[in-house]
Amino acid sequence: MNNTTSSPSNKNLVKEILSWKKKREAVILAHVYQPGEIQDIADFTGDSLFLSQQAAKTKAKVIVFCGVQFMAETASILSPEKIVLLPEIKAGCPLADMAPAEKVKSKIKELPKAVVISYVNSSAVVKSLSDYCCTSANAVQIARSIPTEKEILFFPDMNLADFTAKKSKRKIIPWPGFCPTHYLLTRDDIIKAKELHPQALLLVHPECRPEVCNLADYIGSTRGIIKFASNNPAKEYIIGTEMGIFHPLKKNNPDKDFFPASENMICQNMKLITLEKVLHSLKKLEPQVIVPEDIRKKSLKALNRMIEIS
Ligand code: CIZ
């Protein structure tokens, strides 16, 4: 646990949270981009799909999702019988917001024969308009499952679309969306970081710009980055994704050194959740995230198709 979690007032807060969690028969999920003290109180930490799948498997009645809106929506799509709480309802995703449903609908109308793949970082409505969902961990696998002659419309991240097209050799039409946190990382940042740490391997997320990805030793999802760093004998790594990932990286690999590719890679939405808000959420059972049933059923199809393939 880090210093913040172990301060006396936070120790009391954590105690209260754990007691309310028991009372509510709840499970706490925390994305690896969450602040360290939130990751430390979670039953499960990981990427959005892994978390939702864990939540669907448990007998818990309530899911407290410490993440952003699309993640809580995904949990609700997979577990409609459970109460899904997002402790800060304003925790949105600017990338998901770059693909509003109406614009996505008209793009699909323009290319009715194209197969539609939407990244998990999209709204439930956009998922419901899609043939397949994907994560950064399985986007290449999903694209490879599509016949080569088909065109693929890929929402909403253009950098993940570019990475997926190169790896899968499929014709992918990208949507011009991007994650502002990953977009901040430039080639110059990488060159500086490599000068400071010449022995370090560079691990980046596929939401980074192609010119950044081109310099990487490994490109992968948050889960992929953690696995790569944990299994590789190298002792030093430069990390190109949101800073929250340093928490599990350092915890799992105390003998290794991790350096940020840029100190600016902080998603403000991910940092909106606090211990106080988690406690409030458990006490009041709010704010809840509910996906309307017609949209839920359609988006579940896209998610299930992905799960079958990967
Ligand atoms: O799917 C997720 O949780 C995100 C946002 C990134 C990743 O690579 O895990």
Please give the pLDDT value at position 56: 87
- Do 71 and 118 sit in the same domain of this protein? no
The enclosing H or E element of 154 equals strand 151-155
CB burial class (10 A; 0-12, 13-18, 19+) of residue 175? buried
128 lines ligand 1 (CB under 6 A): no
- Do 172 and 299 sit in the same domain of this protein? yes
* pLDDT over 80 at 140, yes or no: yes
What's the rounded Cα separation, in Å, for the pair 199 and 257? 11
What's the rounded Cα separation, in Å, for the pair 91 and 252? 27
DSSP letter (8 states) at residue 293: H
Per the DSSP assignment, residues forming a β-bridge with 288 are 85
* pLDDT over 80 at 8, yes or no: no
Give the residue-averaged pLDDT of 89-115. Answer: 98
**Can you say whether residue 16 is alpha, beta or left, with left for phi > 0 and alpha for psi between -120 and 50 degrees?**
alpha
- Do 167 and 299 sit in the same domain of this protein? yes
Which atom of ligand 1 is least distant from the CA of 51? 3
Give the residue-averaged pLDDT of 136-158. Answer: 98
Please give the pLDDT value at position 49: 87
At 81-98, the pLDDT tens digits run 999 999 999 999 999 999
Say if 188 falls within a structural domain.
yes
- Do 253 and 286 sit in the same domain of this protein? no
DSSP letter (8 states) at residue 186: -
- Do 262 and 275 sit in the same domain of this protein? no
Contact 128, 295 (CB under 8 A): yes
Q: What is the dihedral of CA 302, 305, 307, 308, to 10 degrees?
A: 170
- Full domain range(s) for residue 258: 181-266
- Do 157 and 133 sit in the same domain of this protein? yes
Confirm whether pTM is higher than 0.85. yes
45 lines ligand 1 (CB under 6 A): no
At 208-249, the pLDDT tens digits run 999 999 999 999 999 999 999 999 999 999 999 999 999 999
- Do 304 and 158 sit in the same domain of this protein? yes
Tracing tokens 């577990």 back to the chain, one arrives at: 79
- Do 186 and 261 sit in the same domain of this protein? yes
Paired tokens of 56: 């669907």
138 lines ligand 1 (CB under 6 A): no
Say if 174 falls within a structural domain.
yes
Please give the pLDDT value at position 1: 42
Give the residue-averaged pLDDT of 119-136. Answer: 98
What's the rounded Cα separation, in Å, for the pair 221 and 305? 20
Please give the pLDDT value at position 119: 98
Say if 2 falls within a structural domain.
no
* pLDDT over 70 at 153, yes or no: yes
Please give the pLDDT value at position 3: 44
Q: For 240, phi and psi rounded to 5 degrees?
A: -110, 70
Contact 67, 29 (CB under 8 A): yes
Domain count, the chain: 3
- Do 24 and 89 sit in the same domain of this protein? yes
Q: For atom 4 of ligand 1, which residue has the closest CA?
A: 47
**Mean of all residue pLDDT scores within the chain:** 96
At 39-58, the pLDDT tens digits run 999 999 999 889 989 988 99
Mutate to test the pocket of ligand 1, among 33, 53, 135 (most ligand atoms within 8 A of CB): 135
What's the rounded Cα separation, in Å, for the pair 186 and 204? 12
At 279-289, the pLDDT tens digits run 999 999 999 99
Mutate to test the pocket of ligand 1, among 44, 47, 134 (most ligand atoms within 8 A of CB): 47
What percent of the chain has pLDDT above 90? 94
Which atom of ligand 1 is least distant from the CA of 135? 1
CB-CB neighbours of 199 under 10 Å: 10
Q: Which residues contact 237 (CB under 8 A, 6 or more apart)?
A: 200, 201, 202, 203, 229, 249, 256, 257, 258, 259
The three-state secondary structure class of 99 is coil
52 versus 101: the higher-pLDDT residue is 101
241 lines ligand 1 (CB under 6 A): no
pLDDT tier, 6 (very low <50, low <70, confident <90, very high otherwise): low
What's the rounded Cα separation, in Å, for the pair 95 and 224? 21
* pLDDT over 80 at 4, yes or no: no
Give the residue-averaged pLDDT of 91-111. Answer: 98
- Do 203 and 240 sit in the same domain of this protein? yes
Say if 1 falls within a structural domain.
no
- Do 174 and 298 sit in the same domain of this protein? yes
Which atom of ligand 1 is least distant from the CA of 136? 8
CATH number of the domain bearing residue 298: 3.40.50.10800
* pLDDT over 90 at 299, yes or no: yes
Say if 3 falls within a structural domain.
no
